[in-house]
Amino acid sequence: MMQLKPEVLDGLAAALRGPVLQPGDPDYDAARRIWNAMIDRRPALIVRCAGTADVCTAVAFARDHGLPLAVRGGGHNIAGNAVCDDGLVIDLSGMRGVHVDPDARLAYVDGGALLSDVDHETQACGLAVPLGINSTTGAAGLTLGGGFGWLSRMLGLTVDSLVGAEIVTADARRRHIGPRQEPDLFWAIRGGGGNFGVVTRFEFALHAVGPQVTAGLLVFPAAQGRDVLRQYRDYVDTLPADVSIWAVLRQAPPLPFLPPPVHGQDIVALAVCSPRTPEDAASVIAPVRAFGHVLGEHVGAMPYAAWQKIFDPLLAPGARNYWKSHNFTTLSDDAIDVVLRYAASVPTPQCEIFMGLIGGRANEPAADATAYPHRNVTYAMNVHGRWNDAADDARCVAWAREFFAAVTPYAAGSVYINFLTQDETSRIREAYGPNWDRLVQVKQRYDPDNLFRFNHNIAPAG
């Protein structure tokens, strides 16, 4: 990196409302630390933006001084795109405001807000945005990649509820975009990742959900996994869109509703969520119990915001993480057998394989309605390698890669962009599918010099 003169850095600091951090500053190491502990990068500058004006200033500074530029929202991205070496990081983590207009059923969400921030404000009005499943995830990164979670079958993807946005593009210009205002750019940010600028505010349509939902877990022994997963797959075909059931294969954590002898055993957990009352959901959940011998169950009414945090302890920051992912239109018997084989050989108790159920309303739009193209997907399978000791890197990464290769013949040939790790650049076109060429053209128009390249990059046409 070029050496910037002190007076240049002083000028940057004077133009900002938020602070600028450099190596050696007291808060620098904490500010460069992100969710995935495998990522250890040292930016030259971290601009902790206090508002959109700071973002405009930081974008212009990086552009004018030829600095690599990364953008941090929640810092949860598995690939570590929130930080870069020897460049400038635009840190939005101080911009976590969420304003709800309950009459218009709209939420205005700042670029640094976490899912928990959005849920906290919207659920106070009995409203929700269909978001992800880990409350510490940044709303920006989730949305820009498409976004799916417990409500997606009923309400669509996160981007399907996005009705407008404020974005700072590579010319350091603040733009308000929507279906009628720069529609190509608005189309592109709904699944095209951070390739087109820094989104400082999202405008979401809200939906009546909660505050109470019916949710919980039914846990089966892995020894019955083949029967459980085959019945699960068949049952999904009849499942109402307002019920979501995800499958998770791992070693049982010490959940209070599981008998102590079950802790640490290989299990298949089916996670259920529906906005229905327990009475209304009972007829849908009852057949699931018959899939096998239930080792433990905890399903009932609970606050939606609490359910959104239920897996946070298993996904806390500070661990080392490596993922591989496939989309599936269906789960064949052979694919199920591969899943069970690798779930029985997890290298650490924190590793897991989960199948996020999508379908329903999420599959109704056309593939080109948004930049997110995968409107035929039933399951997004994530192979989640997770461990604490760097000495385990090789075997944990190898396990994830070997499973990924073994299950590839049965997959749909597409992938969710937010699940790509930093070594999977060859799969970026796979993630954008038939929308690739249009995304390249939008990139050429708004970022011809590829300033926003520290991401799953779409290079401009030029």
SS3 string, 221-251, reads: EHHHHHHHHHHHHHHHCCCCCCCEEEEEEEE
Residues 245 and 158 in one domain: no
Residue range 46-80, pLDDT digits in tens: 999 999 999 999 999 999 999 999 999 999 999 99
Residue range 413-437, pLDDT digits in tens: 999 999 999 999 999 999 999 999 9
pLDDT > 90 in the chain, percent = 99
Is 354 inside any structural domain?
yes
135, 76 Cβ separation under 8 angstroms: no
Residue range 97-128, pLDDT digits in tens: 999 999 999 999 999 999 999 999 999 999 99
Average pLDDT, the chain: 97
Say what the pLDDT of residue 127 is.
Answer: 98
Domain CATH for 125: 3.30.465.10
Residue 59: partners with Cβ closer than 8 Å, 6 or more residues away: 69, 90, 168, 169, 170, 172, 197, 198, 451
Domain CATH for 26: 3.30.43.10
Residues 227 and 270 in one domain: yes
In this predicted structure, the answer to whether residue 1 has a pLDDT above a threshold of 80 is no
Residues 168 and 314 in one domain: no
Higher pLDDT, 462 or 205: 205
Residue 319 Cα distances to 30, 160, 253, angstroms? 15, 32, 16
Is 440 inside any structural domain?
yes
Residues 205 and 222 in one domain: no
Question: Left (φ > 0), alpha (ψ -120 to 50) or beta: where does 33 sit?
Answer: beta
Residues 311 and 410 in one domain: yes
pTM of the predicted structure, to 2 decimals: 0.96
Residues 102 and 197 in one domain: yes
Residues 330 and 361 in one domain: yes
Q: How confident is the model at residue 11 (pLDDT cuts 50, 70, 90)?
A: very high
Say what the pLDDT of residue 2 is.
Answer: 61
251, 266 Cβ separation under 8 angstroms: yes
Distance CA 369, CA 348 (A): 41
Is 38 inside any structural domain?
yes
Residue range 195-244, pLDDT digits in tens: 999 999 999 999 999 999 999 999 999 999 999 999 999 999 999 999 99
Distance CA 36, CA 33 (A): 8
Residue range 275-313, pLDDT digits in tens: 999 999 999 999 999 999 999 999 999 999 999 999 999
Residues 362 and 245 in one domain: yes
Q: Which domain holds residue 37?
A: 16-91
387, 396 Cβ separation under 8 angstroms: yes
Based on the structure, what is the number of domains in the chain?
3
